[in-house]
Amino acid sequence: MSVENKVVVITGASSGIGEATAKLLAKNGAKVVLGARRENRLQEISQDIKDAGGQATYRVTDVTNPDDLKALVTLAKKEYGAIDVIYNNAGIMPTSPISALKTDEWNMMIDVNLKGVLNGVAAVMPDFTTQKHGQIITTSSVAGIKSFIGSGVYGATKFAVRNLMEVIRMESAKEQTNIRTATIYPAAINTELLQHITDENSKEGMDKLYKSVGITPDAIDAIARVVNFAIDQPEDVNVNEFTVYPTKQG
């Protein structure tokens, strides 16, 4: 099944992996619907896609608000007549030791990284169940399959996403709704995530790691190609997990 003409909703689309994915999918003929909080960036990216001959629309979206996700899906159906894929890519990473008790940041990570994904799932599930096809793709993290000091709560949200996506896949197979899932586990990739870290020691350690082994901005396109690959498979094929490390990272 080709990416061409698929209607794809992308959250966290205003920079980094989301932006790169939107541009690649649009280049390959998908109709992309962009959601994020920064309207100026959404405008710019949408216009870039249109200038390159692609199809794109956008809506300012806060993934912690269920109504925003529903409105984004409604926009996709209004503009393009359908919804085929949602890519839950929005996330934050204010890592810190548990003992630092940055409880406000814990709650923000739960709201964005876990509840934000659940809100995306809830927004598309009625359509996907009725039409008996659809695809849910989510950015987890290598911290969702391995434990790291300083990433207890961040990792907990990403472990939860891993379980959620696998259960959706299993339940869909049982219910015969043909919903495909794909979970992506990026390791050290140089995006805006590091800007969320307020704990000085954690920030110093993460900056050192990412400077040493982090994937270059050009390689962010590699994640976009993974998403493209997952969507591009035949409808009866579900490639559901992808771990992406920098070659230098142990």
Task: Return d(Cα 8, Cα 209) in angstroms, integer.
Answer: 33
State both tokens at 11.
Answer: 């959250």
Residue 244 included in any domain? no
pLDDT at residue 222, rounded to an integer:
86
Where b means 16+ CB within 10 Å and e means fewer, 50-64 reads eeeebbbbbbbbbbb
Residue 250 included in any domain? no
Instruction: Answer whether residue 64 shows pLDDT above 80.
Output: yes
Residue 242 included in any domain? no
Helices (H), the chain: 16-27, 39-51, 66-80, 103-109, 116-131, 152-175, 200-213, 220-232
Where b means 16+ CB within 10 Å and e means fewer, 116-133 reads bbbbbbebbbebbeeeeb
Average pLDDT over residues 114-142: 97
Range of the domain at 92: 7-236
Q: Which residue has the higher pLDDT, 211 or 110?
A: 110
Residue 200 included in any domain? yes
pLDDT at residue 249, rounded to an integer:
57
Instruction: Answer whether residue 8 shows pLDDT above 90.
Output: yes
Cα end-to-end span (Å), the chain: 35
Radius of gyration (C-alpha) of the chain in whole angstroms: 17
Residue 208's pLDDT band, with cuts at 50, 70 and 90, is low
* Residue 62 CB partners (closer than 8 Å, separation 6+): 37, 68
Count up the domains in the chain and report the number: 1
Q: Is 154 a catalytic residue?
A: yes
Counting residues of the chain whose pLDDT is more than 90, the rounded percentage is 75
Residue 68 included in any domain? yes
Instruction: Answer whether residue 136 shows pLDDT above 90.
Output: yes
Residue 221 included in any domain? yes
Task: Return d(Cα 248, Cα 203) in angstroms, integer.
Answer: 20
Residue 2 included in any domain? no
Residue type, 111: D
Asked whether 75 and 57 are in contact (CB, 8 A), the reply is: yes
Task: Return d(Cα 65, Cα 150) in angstroms, integer.
Answer: 28
Task: Return d(Cα 87, Cα 56) in angstroms, integer.
Answer: 15
| CATH code, domain carrying 172 | 3.40.50.720
Kindly name the residue from 58, 87, 154, 210 that is annotated as catalytic. 154
Residue 48 included in any domain? yes
- Structure-token match 């043909």, residue found: 178
Task: Return d(Cα 248, Cα 90) in angstroms, integer.
Answer: 26
Mean pLDDT score of the chain, rounded to an integer? 90
Asked whether 93 and 194 are in contact (CB, 8 A), the reply is: yes
- Structure-token match 């689309």, residue found: 13
pLDDT (tens digit, 9 = 90+) per residue, 168-189? Answer: 999 999 999 999 999 999 875 6
Instruction: Answer whether residue 219 shows pLDDT above 80.
Output: no
